[in-house]
Chain A
Amino acid sequence: MGYTLNTAQANQVLAALRKDYTVYAPKRFRNQGRYSATDVIRYDEVERWEDIVWDVKSDYPAKEVLTPIQQAIFYFTEDEYRESKGPKKPILVLARPCDINAQHVQAKIYAGNGGYTDLYYERMREMVKFALMECPGGDDTCFCVSMGTNKTDDYSLAVKFSEDGAQIQVTDDAFAPYFEGQPEADYTPAFVEENELKVTLPDLEDKEVRKALKNHPMWKEYNSRCISCGSCTVACSTCTCFTTRDIIYGDNPEVGERRRVTSSCQIAGFDQMAGQREFRSTAGDRMRYKVLHKFHDYKARFEDSHMCVGCGRCTHRCPELISISATLNKVSAAVDEIKAGQAQQ
């Protein structure tokens, strides 16, 4: 079923949906950007249709709804504990194809990795349905087509926004009642078929090439350029790393909560072990780890796709203007150089 709604009608549908669902979408937070008089666009509960930002990509990904930056996992008192409660209502997330595909990646890591299902992700994911936001084309940091994440059929609704309303496709019958009496009109979402930015992935199949790449001088550039702030991984649609922290309430160390808090492989100390030993002690090492994880290791383990969905948010948020696509080109050049060297031997 399809509908064409003006803004007032879209608000009626949103109000009806909000009775049964918590609806999340990208919203504009004025003057909350990194630089003054700039905004941040990030996910939040929406109450008004006009608050949904659809014409530009959000700075932060939809994953913030499913895997919040901070969440309580259990509360403890002396020798007892109680699990935190999951979402009370089902959740509807308005998201572009990159963000929806990113959840398939996150699901692999949280549910099934090592034969273990993460309760907190699972109970959330079960409650989430997606409303696809037809992507008007993204920006010059996007490369979803190169990563094969420009399309999805994992949605209950599809929405094409315009200045004065929206075209909507309802694919999940459970959502039909919310549209009762609204003007019907056929609509099928279109997907981005070409990005301005095209990325050729380096061929990292060969173990010897990877070993040589690990020690390649190309990573040294990032020792001086990257400030290890972690903005890229926080903005990443797929990064799942978190740490746990015990928060003690007041002066009684036996009462408190355990939290799960986002962490980042790019921040110094992430891989610190007992004895202060670190695996990756330079920004270049950490960059290499991230790049190989996104463009080799994940696929080697799960076999279906790369971890990166090409949303470009890491590039977009990097305060030092480091581009992931330019970095990949440098990796490709390094791999060519390594292979040429091997051929000569």
Chain B
Amino acid sequence: MNHDINVKKTRLNCFRQSKVPGEFMLQMRVPGGMVDAKYLENVKHIAKTWGDGNFHFGTRQTFDIAGIKYENIPAVNEYLEQYIKEVDAELCDVDMDTVAHEPQPWDPKSGYPTIGARNITACIGNYHCICGNINTFELARKLEGIIFPSHYHIKINISGCPNDCNKAHMCDFGIIGVSKMTYHAERCIGCGACVRACEHGATRVLSLNEGIAKVDKDPCCCVGCGECVRACPTSAWTRSEKPLYRVILGGRTGRQTPRTGKMFLNWASEDVIIGVLKNWQKFSAWVMDYKPEYLHGGHLIDRAGYKKFKELILEGVELNPECLVAEDMFWHETEYRSNFNVKPIEQHHTAGPQA
């Protein structure tokens, strides 16, 4: 097999190099992991026409089709035009003629313009789930146009509730749907169902006040899951009118320093989430001195330091009154190698403008 293929270019185009030289795997974006089932026909067509006939659920909720020969990539890209237009340009209102908010005309026959940012994943959320606090894929669709297309990488996972089935704790920017509960004491019959639900399924912040047969809440540690609302037979607990969000920052997997994310924002409004993510490109660009590399967001935060990140990412963002922000951030990494960070100074990473 004699090939001369720029695999970095194909990767940018969302075709991943195969161990079989000359073969590639297409990754189709599915923002929030939800699209009309009619697109399965397109997936099938690509797999049966150009791929190996199989289909894989990408770990980031992309439609993955392996076994596509390099010479067929142009034909696949041409076929993808309709899917990209309908799903990204129309459904998610993505401006395909910009990259990282800078003008860069898109050739609709050329497939995906960038692999960054990575596909936003989401659990099914309150579209279906009895636990979900938010419509996860609608949020994903709103965020898609802010972070894509771009050469700066960010992995966003959206979970509908603090059960975090979609692992917001394991990505750069994890979003968890929460709610601030209202207690209607006049409807409470003191049955204790919410107390038990919180004890078994959440953070034990509720207790039955025997003196008044009502429920006391320690608001310090409520995770906003809504289990009390689900458990209540009288609707004495209700969710806030508008959903709120928790952001878990800097989680990651990887060969070097995997770690779970830590809470960055709590009780943030949708406007705050959108405002923060609008600053993402600016922050990434500054850290890398305007030269994008294939590097995920969590590493950029490490380079800049959390306080610098906070300064740049909150610039111009008006926080809603309930919103809390982490003053500092202390991640705990899995150290496969002790003193991983102790190394010659010339091997240290840099952040910001370089000489």
Contact = CB atoms under 8 A, between A and B. Distances in A.
Interface in A212-256: 229-231, 234, 245, 247-248
B126 A36 contact: yes
A40 interface: yes
Interface string B229-246: 111111100111101000
Contacts of B189: 69-70, 230, 234, 261-264
Most A Cβ at <10 Å: residue of B177, B226, B233, B243:
B233
A68 B190 CA distance: 15
Contact of B179 (A29, A36, A230): A36
A29 B213 CA distance: 25
Interface stretch (B83-91, B131-139, B141-149, B344-352): B131-139
A31 B233 CA distance: 16
Secondary structure type dominating chain A contacts: loop
B187 A70 contact: yes
Interface in B122-174: 126, 130, 132-135
Contact of A34 (B135, B186, B191, B235): B235
A36 B241 contact: no
B166 to A, nearest CB: 16
B239 A234 contact: no
A234 B212 contact: no
Contacts of B190: 245, 261
Given A31-B241, A69-B186, A261-B213, A40 B235 contact: yes
Contacts of B316: none
Contacts of B219: none
A183 interface: no
A317 to B, nearest CB: 8
B211 interface: yes
A36 B133 contact: yes
B134 A31 contact: no
A60 interface: yes
Interface in B192-234: 193, 211-213, 226, 229-234
B212 A247 contact: yes
A40 B233 CA distance: 12
B211 A247 contact: yes
Given A29-B238, A30-B241, A231-B233, A37 B135 contact: yes
A69 B188 CA distance: 8
A262 B132 CA distance: 29
Secondary structure type dominating chain B contacts: loop
A36 B226 contact: yes
A319 interface: yes
Contacts of A152: none
Nearest to B132: A36
B233 A229 contact: yes
A245 B191 contact: no
A66 to B, nearest CB: 16
Contacts of B232: 34
Most B Cβ at <10 Å: residue of A36, A59, A263:
A36
Contacts of A13: none
Contacts, number: 78
Most B Cβ at <10 Å: residue of A40, A60, A70:
A70
A292 to B, nearest CB: 21
A123 to B, nearest CB: 20
Nearest to B191: A267
A69 B132 contact: no
Most A Cβ at <10 Å: residue of B190, B191, B212, B226:
B191
Nearest to A247: B212
Given A261-B189, A261-B213, A69 B234 contact: yes
Contacts of A245: 190, 212-213
A116 interface: no
A229 B235 contact: no
A264 B230 contact: no
Contacts of A40: 235, 238
A230 B191 contact: yes
B186 A230 contact: no
B212 A37 contact: no
B186 A36 contact: no
B235 A36 contact: no
A64 B190 CA distance: 17
A84 interface: no
Contacts of B186: 68-70
A157 to B, nearest CB: 28
A263 B190 CA distance: 9
Given A37-B126, A245-B190, A262 B234 contact: yes
Contacts of A33: 235
Nearest to B179: A36
Contacts of B135: 37
Contacts of A160: none
Contacts of B188: 69-70
A36 B239 contact: yes
Contacts of B211: 247-248
A199 B240 CA distance: 39
Given A40-B235, A245-B190, A319-B230, 6 more contacts: A34-B229, A70-B187, A229-B193, A229-B231, A230-B191, A248-B211
Interface of B: 126, 130, 132-135, 177, 179, 186-191, 193, 211-213, 226, 229-235, 238-241, 243
The 6 closest A-B CB pairs, nearest first, are: A32-B238, A231-B233, A36-B126, A230-B233, A36-B133, A229-B233
27 contacts: A30-B241, A31-B238, A31-B240, A32-B235, A32-B238, A34-B230, A35-B126, A35-B230, A36-B126, A36-B132, A36-B133, A36-B134, A36-B177, A37-B135, A68-B186, A69-B187, A69-B188, A229-B193, A229-B233, A230-B189, A234-B233, A245-B213, A247-B212, A261-B189, A263-B189, A264-B191, A267-B191
